[in-house]
């Protein structure tokens, strides 16, 4: 039974997230339906990351098995044809060894969060970035971000609904860069806790607007208490950009 690795992108607006659910359309559900429409096979698509409702992806990776062998281009074109009009697109299809696992074999995941820091509200970019009209100091945000790099107990930065067995995670890098009115916050780790990146961004935003300091971030990390943290940033600006193997 051939196994295929798919690299996909999607706009998370209007979707309940990656995982198949009963309360609305999901990325996983739409992909499985598209595969069934062209192959007649009921399969399960396994993703590298379970993005939440409203979160986007530029480089999500998943795998699936089919009984029949098809050229990669045929699979890509057929799935994309049956995904319409959903804002989900298969960018690449590759055959893989039978034991390849999109989630377990990943050695790192990169998420990027985009803040649009300007006075005028968003129009074309609405739902695709976080609008922050108050001027943000990206240099202060970058200094504070250094407190979070490395292995830590990230209890203060995970959702109360997180099902991970341990709050210990290693954040390989956390970079802040301003390009004009856009501020990009990029985090890389082997794995992330539920809503970890959004909690981090919400905290760094408080540093950027002067309400918190670098020391406050360090104290929050040590507190191991989500209730003492900042509100999570909205899902609009978060993108899963890359999965490394």
Backbone angles phi, psi at 146, to 5 degrees: -65, -25
pLDDT in tens, 43-86: 999 999 999 999 999 999 999 999 999 999 999 999 999 999 99
Scored b (16 or more CB within 10 A) or e, 1-15 reads: eebbbbbbbbbbeeb
Contacts of 54 (CB under 8 A, 6+ apart): 12, 13, 15, 17, 127, 234, 235, 236
- pLDDT of 160 strictly over 90: no
CA-to-CA dists, residue 97 to 39, 73, 100, angstroms:
21, 18, 6
User: Where residue 167 falls among pLDDT bands split at 50, 70, 90?
Assistant: very high
List, by residue number, the catalytic residues. 52
**Residue 5 has what pLDDT?**
98
Write the burial class of residue 86 (CB in 10 Å: 0-12 exposed, 13-18 middle, 19+ buried). middle
- In the chain, the domains with their CATH numbers are 3-96 (3.30.70.580), 108-244 (3.30.70.660)
pLDDT in tens, 21-43: 988 999 999 999 999 999 999 99
What pTM, to 2 d.p., does this model score? 0.95
Nearest to 44 by CA among 75, 79, 19, 17: 19
């Amino acid at each position: 039974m051939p196994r295929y690795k798919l690299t996909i992108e999607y706009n998370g607006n209007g979707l309940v997230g990656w995982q198949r659910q009963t309360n609305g359309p999901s990325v996983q559900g739409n992909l499985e339906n598209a595969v069934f429409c062209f192959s007649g096979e009921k399969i399960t698509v396994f993703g590298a990351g379970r993005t939440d409702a409203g979160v986007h992806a530029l480089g999500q990776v998943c795998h699936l098995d089919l009984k029949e062998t098809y050229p990669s281009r045929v699979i890509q074109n057929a799935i994309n044809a049956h995904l319409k009009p959903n804002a989900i697109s298969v960018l690449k299809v590759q055959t893989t060894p039978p034991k390849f696992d999109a989630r377990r074999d990943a050695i790192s995941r990169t998420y990027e969060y985009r803040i649009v820091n300007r006075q005028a509200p968003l129009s074309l970019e609405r739902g695709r970035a976080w609008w922050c009209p108050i001027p943000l100091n990206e240099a202060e945000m970058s200094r504070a971000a250094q407190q979070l790099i490395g292995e830590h107990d990230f209890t203060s930065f995970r959702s109360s609904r997180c099902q991970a067995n341990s709050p210990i995670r290693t954040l390989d890098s956390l970079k802040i860069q301003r390009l004009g009115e856009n501020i990009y916050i990029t985090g890389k780790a082997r794995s992330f806790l539920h809503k970890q990146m959004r909690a981090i961004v919400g905290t760094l935003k408080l540093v950027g607007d002067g309400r918190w300091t670098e020391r406050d971030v360090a104290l929050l990390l040590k507190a191991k208490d989500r209730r003492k943290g900042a509100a999570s940033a909205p899902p609009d600006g978060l993108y899963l950009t890359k999965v490394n193997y």
